[in-house]
Amino acid sequence: MNGWVAPHHKTVENYKEKMYWFSNEWRRETETWDDKNKWLAYNAIQGAEQHHINLGQRGNQVVKRTRSLIKAVEGKTPLAKKTLELLNV
């Protein structure tokens, strides 16, 4: 065996959920603006991270939305940050 270990099922599910939201937001952006550009790509990732990924599914949604907004304002959105870095290359 080569030492490779399959990722935990929760890791796989987390990845699939993120990909779902990224794809969903990208489709929404491109359909809304009838274009495909870097700004829309960034906005799709940022929107997915802020409005879906950081919220999760359990708990008080009002409190979670507030925390998610605070994270965005404080620049604590690593997926959006990395996307911006990659798009500016």
Residue 73 corresponds to which tokens in the numbers above?
């304002």
Average pLDDT, rounded, for the chain:
89
Written as one string, the DSSP assignment of 5-21 is -PPPHHHHHHHHHHHHH
- Residue whose token pair is 């799709």: 44
The percentage of residues in the chain with a pLDDT greater than 90, rounded to a whole number, is 62
What's 31's DSSP letter?
H
* pLDDT per position as a tens digit, 10-53: 999 999 999 999 999 999 999 999 999 999 999 999 999 988 88
Please say whether the beta carbons of 87 and 41 come within 8 A: yes
Residues ≥6 apart with Cβ < 8 Å to 37? none
